[in-house]
Amino acid sequence: TTCSSWIERISSLVQPKQKTFTVSVEGNIGSGKTSFLRYIQANHDNITEVTEEPTDRWRNIQGHNALALMYEDPARWSLTFQTYVQLTMLQSHMAPQKKPIKMMERSIHSAKQCFVENLHNNGTMPDIEYIVLSEWYDYICAHDKVDVDIIVYLKTRPEVVLERIKKRHRNEEQTIPLEYLEQLHKLHEDWLGHQPNVLTLDANCDLIEMKTEIDKHIKTILCGLV
């Protein structure tokens, strides 16, 4: 899709007098969301504020590493971990916005639509835990301002992100198998493939090429404000 037709589509999706926007950046583990956001922040700090994913909080809940526990024993700890992710994501959505565009790394929606769905689908999370989390999610969506105007989807091949995960060597993630990344990839595709407000970028390339790709689509990414 060309840039100008994108702007038209976005204009038709947002409220006529809308002055503030929320953009979420989504994609598999290791797809480059953090680098994407750092690049935007470095170049467009005047109109964007970036809420990076609170991964550090997940790794230190009053001294407990929930991310590590989840990977060590997913059947025991996934509910605990995902409940905390849902809380921290809700806090990011609700944080007061000072600049025109709030850029979020992930959202409460990918936590539910991709990660929680996956844990349930692959038999790790029992029905009752899935139902409790889902009822919380539905209630939050109905009552709080967690809407996203535009989603930037960093689309990657599972093999590519597996290599990046190995390279960056985050301790907790070293046991992630390709199969897990394939399941998450499919859920991202199912969720984002048919939504009108999604800009999909090929994120298999290196950072230099990625920056060119971002520059090419910058008007769309920044909701027509540049």
The amino acid occupying position 162 is L
Q: Which stretch binds ligand DCP (CB under 6 A): 27-35, 133-141, 144-152, 191-199?
A: 27-35
- Which H helix or E strand runs over 152? strand 150-155
Least distance between ligand DCP and beta carbon 119 (Å): 8
| Identity of the residue, 10 or 116, whose beta carbon is nearer to ligand DCP in the bound complex | 116
Whether 52 is a known active-site residue: answer no
Contact pick of 21, 22, 23, 31 for ligand DCP (by CB under 6 A): 31
Closest CA to 111 of 127, 90, 97: 90
The minimum distance between CB 164 and ligand DCP, in angstroms, equals: 7
DSSP-derived 3-state class of residue 43 = helix
User: Which stretch, 8-16, 31-39, 187-195, 216-224, contacts ligand DCP (CB under 6 A)?
Assistant: 31-39
Of the residues 105, 117, 159, 189, only one is catalytic, namely: 105
Q: Does 34 bind ligand DCP (CB under 6 A)?
A: yes
182, amino acid identity: E
**Spatial distance between the Cα atoms of 181 and 178, rounded to a whole number of angstroms:** 5
Identity of the amino acid at 53:
E
Q: How far apart are CA 89 and CA 86, in angstroms?
A: 5
**Binding flag, residue 29, ligand DCP (CB under 6 A):** yes
| HSE-CB for 137 with a 13 A CA cutoff | 22
Question: Applying CB under 6 A, does 140 fall inside the site for ligand DCP?
Answer: no
Each residue 38-57 as x (binds ligand DCP by CB under 6 A) or -, in order, gives ---------------x-x--
Binding residues among 177-196 for ligand DCP as defined by CB under 6 A:
none
Residue 13 CB, nearest approach to ligand DCP (Å): 25
Bridge partners of 16, per DSSP, are none
Q: What is the DSSP letter of 144?
A: S
- Give the x/- contact pattern for ligand DCP in 90-119, rule: CB under 6 A: ----------------x----x---x----
**In sequence order, what are the beta bridge partners of 24?**
104, 151
Residues in the chain: 226
* Nearest residue to 168 via CA among 30, 27, 65: 30
User: Which sequence positions are flagged as catalytic?
Assistant: 105
Residues that bind ligand DCP (CB under 6 A): 27, 29-34, 53, 55, 67, 82, 85, 106, 111, 115, 173
